[in-house]
Amino acid sequence: MQSNKPNNSILHKDFKLLARELTIVENDLTGSEELLRRLIPKDTPVIGITGPPGAGKSTLVNSIINALSVSGKYVAVLAIDPTSPFNMGSLLGDRIRMAEQFNKANVYIRSLATRGSLGGLSGKTIEMCDVLKNAGFDYILVETVGVGQSEVEIAGLADISVVVLVPESGDEIQTMKSGLMEIADIFVVNKSERDGAERFTNNLKKLVHLRSVPIPVINTKADQSIGIENLIKALGEQAYKENSKRSYLLTEKAWKLIQNQKMKSFDKIHLHKTLEQACSNPNFNLYQFIDNYQQSFKNS
């Protein structure tokens, strides 16, 4: 008979056990629901790293890991990769981008496919983050795929949202105000050696002063680890602030998990095969198809 006491994989330095637990949860294997219901997550800060493609998020994550691991901190990374159109799994891009981290005893990296979620986050991201929190890491980093304004979903998962921008983002600043600009707890201007970086940073600082709560704007050169110390300090300050958005975070997480539960019976691969056959009919109507498809699941 299994004990109700959750495993603390990190204290026992058992990454294999942790990997098995994450696999069970990610794939809804037998024991998944029981495992989740007996979790007692620690107060580990979940740090979301988001921003437009090409901003240097992966390089920044690498530098953060290096700085934290040197000080003996246990760091977990969930690298959200695009879903493969062939097997619906992760494309495992982090295996290349973070290769230097895999031999570190206090660093654990896991790939997770978007599973079709527009903002790059699936319900499984929440569940796997909770498994990692239960394991006792000091920091959990969630790096998103970089798909634009839909990445505001990270605000419903992360305790601290870090929005990474580059000087070239200057022309897009106004359009981002209603998206990424509103969910940031920290702004990072990466690749700050580039032309226009100082002007862009100053404009960004003017924008954040319009918000009721001051937001740090930090310049970095992630590939040289410049500015990372200031970023780590800002992360620490944010982590110890009163979490006024706790109820909001839990509401967003609950909403996402409920959606995930409702969709559990639907298999996207099966949907594709069924749709492929149905759309060959010259009188095919997508809305009629959806009604019939959903009805078939209710009757099954």
**How sure is the predictor about 119, in pLDDT bands with cuts at 50, 70 and 90?**
very low
- DSSP strand E in the chain: where? 46-50, 75-81, 107-113, 139-143, 160-165, 186-189, 217-219
Position 10 pLDDT exceeds 70: no
Query: What number of other Cβ atoms are within 10 A of residue 99's Cβ?
Result: 11
Helix, strand or coil, per DSSP, at residue 185: coil
Of 221, 164, 215, the closest CA to residue 191 belongs to 221
pLDDT at 108: 93
Percentage of residues of the chain with pLDDT beyond 90: 34
Which has more pLDDT, 243 or 73? 73
Residue 156 has pLDDT above 80, yes or no: no
Q: What's the rounded Cα separation, in Å, for the pair 253 and 246?
A: 10
Q: What pLDDT digit, counting tens, does each position of 29-57 carry?
A: 999 999 999 988 778 899 999 888 888 99
With 50 as the cut, is the pLDDT of residue 149 above it? Answer: no
Mean pLDDT of 20-26: 93
More confident residue, 217 or 174: 217
Residue 7 has a pLDDT of 53
Q: List, in sequence order, the alpha helices (H) in 171-245.
A: 173-176, 180-183, 197-208, 228-239
In this predicted structure, what is the pLDDT of residue 274? 92
CATH architecture for segment(s) 15-256: 3-Layer(aba) Sandwich (3.40)
Q: Where in the chain is the domain with CATH 3.40.50.300?
A: 15-256
Q: Per-residue confidence at 150, pLDDT binned at 50, 70, 90?
A: very low
pLDDT digits (tens, 9 = 90+) for 162-198: 989 999 876 556 555 555 667 788 999 999 999 989 9
pLDDT value for 118:
42
Q: What is the pLDDT of residue 243?
A: 59
Q: Rounded mean pLDDT of 1-7?
A: 43
Q: In the prediction, which pLDDT does 240 show?
A: 64
Q: What mean pLDDT value characterizes the chain?
A: 80
pLDDT band, residue 5 (cuts 50/70/90):
very low
Pairing type for strands 186-189 and 160-165 reads: parallel
Residues 83-96 have pLDDT tens digits of 544 444 444 455 55
